[in-house]
Amino acid sequence: MSAPAAPPYDIFAVRDFALEGGAVLPEARLAWRQRGRVGEGEPVLLCTAFGANPLGLAYLGLEGGPLAEDRRWIIDVEMLGNGRSSSPSNTPPPHAGADFPALCIRDQVEIQKRLLDHLGVAHVKSVIGASMGGQQAVQWAASHPDRVGSAVCIAGNARTTLYGQMFLHVVASALTSDPAFMGGRYAEPPILGLSRMSEAWAPFALSPRFFSEGLHQAHPDMAADDLDGFLAKWRTRYHAKDANDLLCHVDMWRRHDIAGTPGCGGSFAEAARRATMPVLFAPVSTDIYFHPGDVVDQAAFFPDARVELVESLSGHAGAFGRQPQDRERMRALIAAFLG
C-alpha cells in the first residue's frame, strides 16, 4: 500500500536565524500552511512529530472532528529537520548533511513564533501536537504563556526521560552501524542502516498485546504470517527518509527538557509554573516512549494540567489513530477540551 501524498506547503524564511546552541543558519526555511476558516477568530497551531508532516494528525480534522476545517482556522507548522523545512538534506554548505547544527525544541518554537508575528497573530486558541509535536506544545506554553490559550500534548511530555534516551540511543546506533553511513557523509543512502533503524523501532512503536491479539493483521503495512514477513514490510518505512534528517530529530528528541527555557535557571518546576493556561496531557496507556506514569509525574508541576489516559493496545501509534477506536477516543477527548 503506497503512502498518501504529502500535503502542499508554503515556505516562511528567516535570515540569520540564531539557534539556541550558538550556530546561525544564514536562512532558515519553515514549511507551513494555513487552512480552514482562515482569519476568523484565533487559530489553532498544529505541530508535527518525528520526521513527519501534518498528515500524522489528519484524523483530528476529518468531518465532525475537533479540528475540522469548517469549524476552525488551522496553522500547520513542520519542524526544522523534517526534510521539508530546513534540514541536513536540503541546506547548502557550510551546514549541509553531517555539518547541519544541532537543534532543540525551543528552536522550533522560536521560528514558529516568528511566523505568527509575520502573520499578525498575537494569540492562538491552542497549540496541539503528538509525540515531539506534543513536546513543542508544552514548550510553547512555557516559553510564551501570554500567547497561548491552551496546549494539548498527545502522547508526549515536557522532558525526555532516561528510558526515552536509551531507546533513542538504540535506534540511532542501528542507523549509524551501517558502514555506508560514513559518519553522515554518505554518497548513497545507507539502506542497511535505515532498515536496521526501522527494525529496532518495531518492538517499541506498538504494544506486546497489539501483536499477541493479532491486531497487526488488520493493517496492510504489518500483516504477515511470521516475523520475516512482518520485518520485510516494516524495515522499509524509513527508506525514503534522509539518514541525517532522522538523526537530527533523534538528537533533538533525546535532549529535550523544558528546564532549559530561558530565565528558568535550569529548573523544570519554574518552567512548568510559567505555563498558566490549561494544558491537556493525553498519554496512551500502553505507550512506552512516553509512559503514562512519567507523564503524570511531570504534569504535577503545571498549574492547570489535566491528564486524560487514553486506553489503547496500539502503544505510541495510538496517538496517530492506528485503530478506529484510537481515533474516536482522541477526537472526543480533544473536542471536549477545546469546547
pLDDT mean values, one per 10 residues, the chain (339 residues): 73 98 98 97 97 93 93 97 98 98 98 98 98 98 98 98 97 98 97 97 93 96 95 95 98 98 98 98 97 98 98 97 96 95
Residue 1 confidence (pLDDT): 42
Tell me whether residue 99 is in a domain.
Answer: yes
Measured CA to CA, the distance from residue 147 to residue 150 in angstroms comes to: 9
All three cell numbers of 45, joined, read 497551531
Whether 43 contacts 54, CB under 8 Å: no
Tell me whether residue 98 is in a domain.
Answer: yes
Measured CA to CA, the distance from residue 99 to residue 248 in angstroms comes to: 11
Tell me whether residue 58 is in a domain.
Answer: yes
Q: Which of 213, 201, 224 is closest to 313 using CA atoms?
A: 213
Tell me whether residue 181 is in a domain.
Answer: no
Tell me whether residue 33 is in a domain.
Answer: yes
Domain membership of residue 55 as a residue range: 10-161+257-338
Measured CA to CA, the distance from residue 201 to residue 199 in angstroms comes to: 5
Tell me whether residue 231 is in a domain.
Answer: no
Q: Which of 106, 98, 124, 151 is closest to 43 using CA atoms?
A: 124
- Torsion region of 120: left, alpha or beta (phi above 0 gives left; psi -120 to 50 gives alpha): left
Task: Tell me the backbone φ, ψ of residue 272, rounded to 5 degrees.
Answer: -65, -40
Task: Tell me the backbone φ, ψ of residue 276, rounded to 5 degrees.
Answer: -85, -10
| pLDDT tens digits for range 311-335 | 999 999 999 999 999 999 999 999 9
Residue 7 confidence (pLDDT): 85
Using alpha carbons, list the distances in angstroms from residue 155 to 49, 63, 134, 200: 11, 23, 7, 20
Structurally, how many domains does the chain consist of? Answer: 1
Tell me whether residue 166 is in a domain.
Answer: no
- Cβ-in-10-Å burial (0-12, 13-18, 19+) of 184 comes to middle
Tell me whether residue 209 is in a domain.
Answer: no
CATH for 32? 3.40.50.1820
